[in-house]
Amino acid sequence: MRTTRRVFLKSAATVAATGLVAPSIIRPASAQAGGTIRIGMVLPVTGPGADAGRFALNGAKIALEAVNKAGGVLGKPMELITEDDQTTNPGAVLAFSKLASQPDLVAFLGSIRSTQNHAMAPDILKTGKPVAFGGTDPVLTQLGNPWLFRFRPNDSFSARVIAEYGVSNLGKKKWAIIHSTDAFGTSGAKALTEALGKAGATVALDQGYTNQSQDFTPVVLAIRQSGADVIGSYFTFENDLGIFARQLRQLGVQAPWVGSPSIVNVTALKLAGPSLYGTYGVADYAEESSNVARDFGKAYRAVMKLPPDNQSSWTFDAVTVLAKAINAAGKTDPKAIREALLAVRGHEGAEGTYNFDQNGDGLHGYNVVRNDKGNIVFDKRIDFYKA
Amino acid sequence: MDLILQLLFTGIGIGAVYALVALGFVLIFRATNVVNFAQGEFSMVAAFLMVVFAVDLQWPYWLSFLLAIGGMALLGALFNLGVYYPLRHRTYLPVIISTIGASIFLANTTLALYGPQPQVLPPVFETQGFLIGPVFLDTQYLLIIAVTAVLVAFQYWFFEHTLIGKKLQATSQDKEMAALLGIPVAGMIMLTFVYSAVLGGIAGILVAPVLFVSIQMGATIALKAFAATIIGGFGDVTGAIIGGLALGIIETFGAAYVSVPYKDAFAFIVLVAFLALRPQGIFGERIAEKA
């Protein structure tokens, strides 16, 4: 029987709803190999990203169960081997090294954090096996590293969408850009500055901050003094975003705010609450953007009792597409899997339609969503893919 | 001018939190001659206890607060018995390493018990704040400043005007002499740990509505409080308060007028400057005298 996307997702939902997400197929790195196709996953179990790691693992587990229910990979069950990256760059490198030392692992899931993927990139090149990752720094797929495959749209797209929506839809031309000073935030801000220049807007303030800041009063006062009429942001951690959002409103800044995907993350919505009402976000995952996204949302809610966000949707897509590519390759040879991944066209995932380019970028557009009193409402999708 | 006043208010508010945690550092240092690197985790544990009682179980705020503080007193006692007491006759190094180990243990135990998701603790007051002219006064920061002032006053009265406070001071100055005079040294040190855990806990509960409740919150605050303690003078209560407030104000103004990304660097530049030029801090006794 041909496994259609709907059948696949329905089986995922059924498996999740009946509570059959079996922990036995998720093993720590010390576990022994069996008659399975094994993929490794680097994820934060401890440190400030541990929350995101839990979401990422659940997205991957839902896909894994569906893959195995639909017959597995090359006739064998697929198995996920996890390793804690401690939400640090050295932790990520160590975690990847531990996984890479196991020769039977055929592919890997990397980090959602660009900075960690940068740290792991040299080892990934040495290992010579495909790594699916979620970091959005555009540079990552321009490093000449043939083993990196991105399962989220990169920041050159998010910046273009933020700029286009803010300038065309909101009619705002004087921008304040607030961003983390890590790799993700810096590259996002740079891309947004370029996109705004092309859109004919000006940057009144380009303000970086270090992660885990406890106070944003100086940043908010700088926005107020800059006279900006709209804010674009690249926040890495939700607690930073939450503190900034609250202080922004407390200090009387009511300018519209179009943020990178973290602005619609479940944790950010919980922490910031009403401070984020009325804001806009570019979201790679928007539940109402497609049938696949809706079905994934249903499956995820059945397991987590929470709405999903991009932390889980990219790992869901990564496991699904890796399984599809290994099946298409017909073997676990890394080069064959790489070729199969590059050949993926028109795969409908929870994050959007995957069409891998030669750099390893699978997605080429973003959804724009609005925070309507805590509910994330899909507005439009802006996609730049040209076949 | 309104910009300066706004920054000053925020700086004092943040500085007051550093000061509260720094007080805990100072008290334990005075009593045991070691730095308790788990002081920040006391703040984190208390904040999570508040989330459990006030948010998850929805018990009244005042009751949750009392239970959380009671829990911290118990934790302080257990900390003394498990982390300090067995090593009390060793040099300072094993005790410091023991407190670092306890810090990691507390953080990871909380992570295992509660999970990694940051939590929201509602503020005491429903009103977020109010404007005085162009300056927004956050009610939670006002509360933090007020509670710090009250605790400092209480601490002064307790140490200077009560017998038990004087016994604590005697213990911290010379344990052997205090024992010869019949002061129960072990009991005094136990009391110090309990009080320090409660102080750290109060700081954590106060700051939780501002910074959210997360596993990392303790480490973030403690690092700055540690710097504040050195700036003020290790072992000096007034120094901890002045050091904390100074640090809060320096980093807030530094961020506003020099560079936001280098905000944390200002605190540590001042720290390094003090270590190089005046290692005993603003109010600390001279090292030669201490030796």
Instruction: For B31-91, give the DSSP string.
Output: HHSS--TTHHHHHHHHHHHHIIIIIIS---HHHHHHHHHHHHHHHHHHHIIIIIGGGTTS-
Rg of chain A taking only CA atoms, in angstroms: 20
Sort strands A365-372 and A353-354 into parallel, antiparallel or unpaired.
Answer: unpaired
Question: B160 vs chain A: nearest CA distance in angstroms?
Answer: 35
Which of A209, A238, A273 is opposite residue B261, by nearest beta carbon? A209
Residues of B with CB below 8 A from A243's CB?
210-212
Work out the minimum CA distance from B267 to partner chain A, whole angstroms: 13
Identify whether A361 is part of a domain: no
Give CA–CA dist B241/B17, Å, rounded. Answer: 10
- A139, pLDDT greater than 60: yes
- Percent of chain B exceeding pLDDT 70 equals 97
Q: Are residues A148 and A50 in the same domain?
A: yes
Same domain, A30 and A67: yes
What pLDDT does B208 receive?
93
So what's the pLDDT on residue A256?
Answer: 96
Residue A169 has pLDDT above 80, yes or no: yes
Query: What span, in angstroms and rounded, lies between the C-alpha atoms of B214 and B163?
Result: 39
Query: 3-state DSSP call for residue A83?
Result: strand
Burial of B65 (0-12, 13-18, 19+ CB in 10 A): buried
Strand partners, A382: A366
B5-48, pLDDT tens digit by residue?
Answer: 999 999 999 999 899 888 888 888 877 778 889 999 999 999 99
Token pair 């002081």 is found at B39
Residue A104 maps to a domain:
yes
Report how many domains make up chain A.
2
Chain B contact for A250 (CB, 8 A cutoff): yes
Residue A61 is assigned to a structural domain of this protein:
yes
Do A53 and A120 belong together in one domain?
yes
Looking at the domain assignment, is residue A363 inside a domain?
A: no
Which residue range is the domain that position A377 belongs to?
155-283+368-383
In a domain, A276, yes or no: yes
Tell me whether strands A148-150 and A174-180 are parallel, antiparallel or unpaired: unpaired
Q: At A78, is the secondary structure helix, strand, or coil?
A: strand
Optimal mutation site among B138, B214, B250, B257, interface A, most CBs of chain A within 10 A: B214
- Residues A207 and A223: their CA atoms lie apart, in Å, by 9
Place of tokens 């639909």: A70
Alpha helices in chain A (DSSP H): 5-17, 50-69, 89-100, 114-127, 155-164, 183-198, 217-226, 238-250, 266-272, 291-304, 310-329, 334-342
Say whether both A51 and A131 belong to one domain.
Answer: yes
Query: Scanning every residue of chain A, which has its alpha carbon at the shortest distance from the alpha carbon of B138?
Result: A250
**Which residues does chain B have within 8 Å of residue A209's beta carbon, measured at their own beta carbons?**
260-261, 263
Q: Could you tell me which residues are beta bridge partners of residue A81?
A: A27, A40
Residues A291, A145, single domain; the answer is yes
Together in a domain, A215 and A315: no
Of the candidates A377, A376, A360, which has an alpha carbon nearest to the alpha carbon of residue A110? A360
Nearest-angstrom CA–CA distance, B203 and B43: 6
Buried b (16+ CB within 10 A) or exposed e, A272-306: beebbbebbbbbbbbbebbebbebbbbbbbbbbee
Are A107 and A169 part of one and the same domain?
no
Question: Does residue A65 lie within any of the structural domains?
Answer: yes
The answer to whether A279 and A257 are in contact (CB under 8 A) is: yes
Tell whether A271 is within 8 A of chain B (Cβ).
Answer: yes
For residue B106, give both structure tokens.
């507390």
Q: What is the pLDDT of residues B36-81, one digit of tens each?
A: 899 999 999 999 999 999 999 999 999 999 999 999 999 999 999 9
> Domains in chain B, ordered, with CATH?
2-290 (1.10.3470)
Contact assessment for residue B97 and residue B190, using Cβ atoms and an 8 Å cutoff: no
Residue A162 and residue A26 in one domain: no
- Which of A3-12, A89-98, B22-31, B237-246 shows the lowest per-residue confidence on average (mean pLDDT)? A3-12
Q: Is residue A362 assigned to a domain? A: no
Among B57, B23, B51, B54, smallest CA distance to B214 is for B51
Point out the least confidently predicted range of A25-34, A169-178, A180-189, B43-52. Answer: A25-34
Over the range A339-368, which residues count as b (16 or more CB within 10 Å of their CB) and which as e?
A: ebbbebeebbbbbbbbbbeebbbbbbbbbb
Question: Do A113 and A79 lie in a common domain?
Answer: yes
Q: Say how far apart CA A385 and CA B3 lie, in whole Å.
A: 46
Contact B138/A250, CB-based, under 8 Å? yes
**Residue indicated by tokens 């909380």:** B110
Residues of B with CB under 8 A from a CB of A: 3, 6-7, 10, 14, 108, 111, 115-118, 120, 128-129, 136, 138, 210-212, 214-216, 220-221, 252, 255-256, 260-261, 263-264
Task: Pull the structure tokens for residue A338.
Answer: 């790489």
Write out pLDDT tens, residues A310-337.
Answer: 899 999 999 999 999 999 999 999 999 9
A283 neighbors A370 (Cβ within 8 angstroms): no
**Inter-chain residue contact A48 with B115, CB threshold 8 Å:** no
| Residue in A55, A207, A214, A305 to test binding to B, most B beta-carbons within 10 Å | A214
Pairing of strands A148-150, A375-383: unpaired
Do residues A238 and A342 both lie within one domain?
no
Task: Choose the closest CB to B260 out of A207, A250, A267.
Answer: A207
Interface of A with B in 196-225 (CB under 8 A): 207-210, 212-215, 217-219, 221-222, 225
User: Beta strand pairing status for A365-372 and A375-383?
Assistant: antiparallel
Which CATH number belongs to the domain containing residue A243 in this structure? 3.40.50.2300
Residue pointed to by tokens 């807030």: B252
Chain B residues with CB-CB distance to A246 below 8 A: 128
Q: What is the DSSP letter of B284?
A: P
CB contact under 8 A, B261 and A210: yes
Q: What tens digit of pLDDT does each residue of B106-152 get?
A: 999 998 888 778 899 998 888 888 888 888 999 999 999 999 999 98
CA torsion sign, B120 to B125 to B127 to B131?
negative
* Mean pLDDT of all residues belonging to chain A: 89
Q: Do the beta carbons of residue A237 and residue A261 sit within 8 Å? A: no
Which residues from B are below 8 Å from A248, CB to CB?
Answer: none
Residue A169 is assigned to a structural domain of this protein: yes
Distances, alpha carbon A223 to alpha carbons A253, A275, B250, in Å: 8, 16, 21
Co-location of A56 and A110 in the same domain:
yes
Considering the domain architecture, whether residues A278 and A319 belong to the same structural domain is answered as: no
Q: Per-residue pLDDT tens for A36-85?
A: 999 999 999 988 778 889 999 999 999 999 999 999 999 999 999 999 99
pLDDT greater than 50 at residue A17? no
